Amino acid sequence: MKIEILGTGCTKCNKTKEIVEKALLENGVDAEVVKVEDFDSIISYGVMITPAVVVDGEVKIAGRVPGVNDVKKWIS
């Protein structure tokens, strides 16, 4: 599983990464977590507002920080 955190390095983007890593740890799921900060790459997903989370190529959320329970649903 590949999880991409789309964002330019803002506080909300960093918080999103922390939440994703916490959900993975709590569920015992092994996944590659990648921070994507390149604007062209972010736009290629159709995302205009960050932070955003992409799981295996599918945008799960954009424009807000997800909750841990949201992430757990996406990874199970």
Catalytic residue IDs: 10, 13
- Name the token pair of 25: 């740890």
Beta-sheet strands, E only, within 1-76 = 2-6, 32-36, 52-55, 58-62
**What spatial distance separates the first Cα and last Cα of the chain, rounded to whole Å?**
11
